[in-house]
């Protein structure tokens, strides 16, 4: 199993190109199940999760060929509706094939999904929404078994105990575009990835209004067509490189970056002393003062601070001045990276769903283990500034969400390499 070796202390400088959004690609690939026509998806990152979704599509009768930064999908069979456990268990986003299968074929059998170990993530909102559209759903033997004569538009309320569900909104939206009549999704997720999915569906011929707000209106169509579509930049990858520049006292310019998707991250980084300048080409990140300030923040649904940036921000706050508090409202158990950061000399304690980070003067290299995708990124960031060598194991998580991370960081001046 591969590992990452980092010798910390280098200031990062230069330009880095931000890849296409992983989360957008995954739901949009699932949406290609809604048409018999060929689709071409552009600006696609080369990631393990993407190849897994392509394998899932193939098991469902769709051939998805990944060439450079685009994927071409083409239907081979119209009758396959079972998404197997061996594939679905590998990532959470695979649940997104449920809605399109049900809408297109009238039946679906999808294994209960897996993914990162960041606490329980129930799919009750997905099932609630699809049942509201007329689906008959049964959970048995580890599978979601759904069927319907014809989905019918309805009013669907998707607010959960931790906010709106992004994947739940995606699933219901994809099912509703082929349902009879009008569907209204209340408390819909507003994330840029939902907007991207809606624009893709509209280009296919769907009638969707209100995307990007808490109320989405959909008028069902009988058929959708194949299209070409360009994926938005990955805002979480962008945020991670912004913190890489800040934590190393470097100066990094992010290219192919949508600033409007990074409002909460830019706001928090600016408040603690990170310099951020934007222009038509991208975002320049640099450290304005010698010691960054502490801050309190709470993760929440978009446009709030993203839970997928929580671990990276914690790594940065571990070397800031003063005491910071990070409260996790989306996945209250997403704190497995705390013990590993503490192994590197951080001073972090957990109280309920809040972490108390007391800034230290320096971190020291150590052998650490990644628990999930964003925790992996946090340990990489800590290793960039730590004194000595850091070895990070179980980095297969990184390959699920960051394309060529060690290569991009090396080009910026980091002393980092992958050990086979």
What amino acid positions are annotated as catalytic residues? Answer: 116
Q: Beta strand 3-7 with 389-393: parallel, antiparallel or unpaired?
A: antiparallel
Give the closest residue to 193 by CA, choosing from 45, 39, 102, 302.
Answer: 302
| DSSP secondary structure, 35-95, as one string | -SS-EEEES----HHHHHHHHHHHHTTEEEEEETTEEEEEES-S---EE-HHHHTT-GGGG
DSSP H or E run through 246:
helix 235-247
CA distance 62 to 80: 9
201: phi then psi, degrees, rounded to nearest 5: -65, -40
The neighbour count for residue 313, using CB atoms within 10 Å, is: 27
Angle between helices 166-176 and 98-105 (to 10 degrees): 10
CA distance 93 to 270: 32
CA angle 183, 57, 197 (to 5 degrees): 40
Q: Are 310 and 239 in contact (CB under 8 A)?
A: no
CA distance 82 to 19: 31
């Amino acid at each position: 199993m591969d590992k990452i070796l980092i010798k910390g202390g280098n200031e990062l400088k230069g330009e880095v190109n931000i890849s296409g959004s992983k989360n957008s690609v995954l739901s949009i690939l699932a949406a290609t199940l809604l048409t018999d026509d060929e689709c071409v998806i552009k600006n696609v990152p080369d990631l393990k999760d993407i190849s897994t979704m392509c394998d899932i599509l193939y098991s469902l009768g769709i051939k998805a060929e990944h060439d450079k930064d685009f994927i071409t999908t083409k239907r081979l069979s119209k009758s396959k509706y079972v998404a197997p456990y061996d594939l679905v268990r590998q990532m959470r986003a695979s649940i997104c094939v449920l809605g399109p299968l049900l809408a297109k074929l009238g039946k679906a059998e999808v294994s209960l999904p897996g993914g990162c170990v960041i606490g329980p993530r129930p799919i009750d909102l997905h099932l609630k929404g699809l049942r509201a559209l007329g689906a008959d759903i049964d959970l048995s033997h580890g599978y979601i078994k759904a069927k319907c004569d014809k989905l019918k538009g309805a009013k669907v309320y998707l607010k959960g105990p931790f906010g709106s569900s992004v994947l739940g909104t995606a699933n219901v939206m994809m099912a509703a575009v082929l349902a009879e009549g009008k569907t209204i999704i209340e408390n819909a997720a507003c994330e840029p990835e939902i907007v991207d999915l809606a624009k893709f569906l509209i280009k296919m011929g769907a009638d969707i209004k209100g995307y990007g707000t808490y109320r989405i209106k959909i008028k069902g169509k009988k058929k959708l067509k194949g299209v070409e579509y360009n994926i938005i930049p990955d805002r979480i990858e962008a945020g991670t490189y912004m913190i890489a520049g800040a934590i190393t006292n470097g100066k990094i310019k992010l290219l192919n970056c949508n600033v409007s998707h990074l409002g909460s991250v830019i706001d928090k980084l600016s408040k603690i002393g990170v310099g951020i300048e934007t222009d038509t080409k991208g975002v320049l990140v640099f450290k304005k003062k010698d010691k960054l300030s502490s801050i309190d923040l709470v993760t929440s649904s978009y446009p709030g601070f993203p839970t997928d940036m929580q671990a990276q921000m914690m790594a940065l706050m571990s070397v800031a001045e003063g005491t910071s508090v990070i409260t996790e409202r989306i996945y209250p158990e997403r704190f497995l990276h705390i013990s590993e950061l503490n192994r590197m000399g951080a001073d972090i304690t957990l109280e309920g769903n809040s972490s108390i980070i007391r800034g230290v003067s320096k971190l020291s290299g150590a052998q650490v283990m990644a628990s999930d995708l964003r925790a992996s990124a946090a340990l990489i960031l800590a290793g960039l500034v730590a004194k000595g060598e850091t070895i990070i194991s179980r980095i297969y998580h990184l390959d699920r969400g960051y394309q060529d991370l060690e290569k991009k960081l090396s080009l910026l001046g980091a002393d980092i390499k992958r050990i086979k």
